[in-house]
Amino acid sequence: DIQMTQSPSTLSVSVGDRVTITCRASQSISSWLAWYQQKPGKAPKLLIYKASSLQSGVPSRFSGSGSGTEFTLTISSLQPDDFATYYCQQYNSYSVTFGGGTKVEIK
Amino acid sequence: QVQLVESGGGVVQPGRSLRLSCAASGFTFSNYGVHWVRQAPGRGLEWVAALSDGGGIKTYADSVKGRFTIFRDNSKSTLFLQMNSLRGEDTAVYFCAKELRPEVAFDIWGQGTVVTVSS
């Protein structure tokens, strides 16, 4: 099984900060990677698919990059609505796996 | 609008069974692969099972293999998860999710249904 490792697990930031979250795969997954945002008590929301494609309706301050085993989610200027937990997910095979999550909290 | 609505959660004793349902609307259900994802209290997301659009491909997480069965009724636009031999570690919110074809990323999620396994 492909393991996904996210870092950091927690990020304390301020509104307006640039935020970078990293996700590493235990083996190459090409560009088969998605990013999600989840708020407490809610279902996850798809932000990015195929490593760098922005899902319809998602603000352009969110971007994704990477291929192979190293991937990054960047929020260019953090907004109040962006405080949440973020997950990566690989879909190199039909047995997908999620990263452990990164909680973005207010500094 | 496009939506998924789960039902069937509840409190069940260890070793017993439960069947979850996920009703789809607003899209052609039979054209999409669908998945179950769960989240234990205070924990991250864990993928549980997948079923391709035609039903020909089924995959399961090792943690549920042999105990859970995913199946669908395309005539009723409904996805199911039959959960047998339930354990305490199966306690979680269970979400169904639709693939963003052709990507196996999930663009539509249900609101979740809570399963609690406890004596």
Q: Write the single-letter amino acid at B13.
A: Q
- A38 vs B contacts (CB less than 8 Å): 45
For A81-103, how does the pLDDT look when each residue is reduced to its tens digit (9 = 90+)?
999 999 999 999 889 999 999 99
Tell me, what's the pLDDT at A55? 98
For A51-78, how does the pLDDT look when each residue is reduced to its tens digit (9 = 90+)?
999 999 999 999 999 999 999 999 999 9
The residue ranges of chain B whose pLDDT is under 70 are: none
Q: Which of A45, A91, A93 sits opposite B103 (nearest CB)?
A: A91
Percent of chain A with pLDDT over 70: 100
Tell me, what's the pLDDT at B54? 86
Structure tokens at A19: 């935020």
Judged by CB atoms within 8 Å, which residues 17-36 of A form the interface with B?
Answer: 32, 34, 36
For residue B46, the chain A residue with the least C-alpha distance is: A98
**How many whole angstroms separate alpha carbon B2 and alpha carbon A86?**
23
Tell me, what's the pLDDT at B10? 98
Exposed, middle or buried: residue B118 (CB in 10 Å: 0-12, 13-18, 19+)? exposed
Largest CA distance in chain A: 38
Cis link prior to A8 (omega < 30° from 0)?
A: yes
* Cβ–Cβ contact A40 with B under 8 A: no
Tell me, what's the pLDDT at B101? 87
Contacting residues for B88 by C-beta, under 8 A, at least 6 apart: B14, B117, B118
Tell me, what's the pLDDT at A93? 87
Structure tokens at B96: 């169904």
